Structure formats: structure tokens, C-alpha cells
Structure 1
Amino acid sequence: MIDRDSIPRPPELIRRIPVTANQVFLALVLFNLFAMTGDVAIAHAFNEFAFDTQYMPFFVGGFAALSTLILIPREHSTWRRALFILGMWLTVFLGVIGFWWHLESQVSWRGWFSLKTYVYTAPLVAPLAYTGVAFIGLVVIKRNGHMFGVEARRWLYALIAGGSFGNASLSILDHARNGFIHPAEWVPIPVTIFAGVAFLWVAFRPRLTGVVKGTLWFAIVLQIIVGTIGWL
């Protein structure tokens, strides 16, 4: 017969899990770095890597992923943190430079920026995904809980909101190329905008209520479902 008193209660079970919240976030950063670099490989293969600079995400993203991987098991190691910070800042600049090059490609295609160039040339906001993910990594490891004087929690919510709005933009871009041939292609747009608004709103709130937390979880789960179905 099982002694119920010997069964660990949920808080005790959670304390026994040898994983910190920071390590979970770092694992998500690592996953996103791999996913984004894989997406870049497919996208740049379409023009057969016409420019040498199109290989940059592999070197910078690879270094950032490696620095994240070695930090996860020893997140308090000084040299690992220094290597990780270097990798994240390089990734921040990679996203900004990539954004500029994508913008330049759109302008050079027809001589000016237009809706048509936005749809049919290099996706303008896609490189900024590197910048956003890297900033999340930098925020996560700040021991004092602040970055540039702003609370880490607010940074995380704002960055998640930015990523959601970016996904909305990319959904419009990708599906506009085939004229939204299927009605389901409209679904990601309101879902990601809803998530973006929810997280941006929370970023400016002093505290979270149960209803607000429930709304955030609903937005997260909804995006996971839509993203998974879209990927399949």
C-alpha cells in the first residue's frame, strides 16, 4: 500500500527538478537559433547563395548556438557567460545588418520600396528574428534582473510581442505570394497580432492578475497550435 504522506507534493517535486528557469529560456534560445539558421539555409538556397554574405548566419548563428549550448549546464561560469554574451551581441548585429541588406535588396530591385518588392523579394523583417532572440538571451542572464534600467520581465514580454508582430508580417508576406489561395492562410494573422497586443500590454503593467496570466497562456497555446498545424 502506498503511503500518501511519502508522495512529494507539487512544490517539492518542482524543487527537485534539476533545471532552472534560466536554463529553460536558454534552451529555447538554442532551439530558435537552430530553427532560424535552418530556415535561412533553405531561403538562401533558392538563389544558390549568390552573395558571400549569405553565409554569415551560419558562422554567427553557429557560434551563438555553441556558446548557448555550453552555458546551459553551467550558467554561472564566468568564461561561459562571457562567451555567450559575445555570441548574443554578434547575433544582435547580424539581425540588424541582415535587415539592412534585405531592405537594400528591395530598393535595388525596382529603384524604390513598394508593396510588390516587400512581397516578392527578401523578407524584410526576417533577420530581426536573430536580434530578438539574442536580446532574450541577454536579458535572461542578467543577474540583477534589469537591462538598460528596464526590468527583465518587461523586456521579455516586449520582445515576445515584437516576435509575434514579426510573425504576423511574415505570414502576410508568405501567403500573399500565392494570393491567400486557402482561407486557412488568414488564420495566423489575427492569432499572432492578438498575442503581440497581449504581451505588449502586459509589458507595461505593474503586476499580473490571474486573468492576465490566463490570457497570456491562451495566446501562447494558440500560437503553438496554429504554428504546429501550419508546419504540418
Structure 2
Amino acid sequence: MPTPLTDAPSHDHDHNHAHEAEAEPDHGCGQAAEADQVPAPHIWHSAANDAAIATVIADRLAQINPGQADRYSENADRLVAQFGQIDSWIRAQVATVLASQRKLVTTHEAFGYFAKAYGFEVKGALSGLSTDARPTPGDLTALVEQVKAAQVPAGFAEDTTNPELIEAAAKEAGVAVAKQPLRVEGPGGPGSETETVQAMLVANTCTMVEALSGRCDRAGAPL
């Protein structure tokens, strides 16, 4: 099981993008994020970012509770090592997808950090659709054109948005929709396939890679 930094309860992510961060973190290995190319706030879709987050949290916790500093540091080191392994694993899975097909068409601008880190292009996204919303004719027309222009074998639904839009657009454009929706806002509930951030990264990666005609070694994922 992944190592927690502390026993403190988790905090749910607020999906109001009005307060998106202006500054963006470094992606590791000297790859600084470019604010005009990568949308905030979904930084957790890069394993390198998750490693950096673990380190920052450990440092802050040590300032608040110095007596447990060693514990926080040790747990952060384990998380950093694991996210490093996951980062390498993701790159190996993505390498099985033809470079010309590493394109993402989704219903929500949530995977800019993933795309930046792992060599994908975000070719189409329509944000602001709730799970219960129905796509307008204009929404559908716009996404159909994006799907056609992207020339990809598959589009992707997401767990926070209405799947009707991407499914209708994909059908109209003559492409498939990935069988599993992508997780956007973080891990799933206890006992789910994506109970941790690490498991979420693995599940999303396999959904993308397999839908784009690549091969994903789920059994070899470093969980």
C-alpha cells in the first residue's frame, strides 16, 4: 500500500475553476511548466508533480510538528521513490502508442499536465459540462469538428462530465470512445480501483494507452 505522509484526513478538491492557480510547479528534470500551454489546477496527473507535492507537504508538516519531522521525511522519500517508478512506468506504456496517435480528445480541460509530461497533445476539450447537462447542438458540432480534425482512433469520457457529449461526437466523427472514463479530480473512494493517486495514474494511463492502440502492462505497474 502507498505510504501516507500523515494520518490526517484528506481534503476534497473544489471543482470551481475560478480560483485556478496562476503559478505552475516545475515538472522535475528541469522541465518548467509553461503557463500559456498547461491549464491549472490538475497538477496531480503528472507523477513527477506528485513527488514534488509529497516533498512540500512533508516540509510543511515538519515546520508545524518538528517532533515528527523524521517520520514525514521518511514517508515522503518512499512516496517520491514510488512516484518516480510510476513516472518511468507511464513512459514505457506511452511508448507503445504511435507518436502520431498520442492525442487526447476529452470533455474537460483536465489533462494538460499529463499531456505535457508524457508527450501527448490535447486536441479537443469542452469544459463546463456537469454530469447532468445535455450537450447543445453547438457543443456537439464544435466537438465533432475537433474529433475529426484530431484524427485519433478514440475519444475519452471523464467521470466528472456528461458522457453523452463525447459519445455523440465520437459516433458522428466515426471514432470509438474508451471503455472506461478517465478519473479527473483525484482518487476514487475506498475499495475502488483508483483508491490512491498512484492507482489513479495507472488506471488513466491504461485507459488512454489501450484506447489509442497501445499496450499497457497493468500487472507490472509499481503499486
Task: Establish whether TM, by shorter chain, passes 0.5.
Answer: no
TM-score after normalising by structure 1 = 0.27
TM-score after normalising by structure 2 = 0.27
Is the radius of gyration larger for structure 1 or structure 2?
1
Structure with more helix by fraction: 1
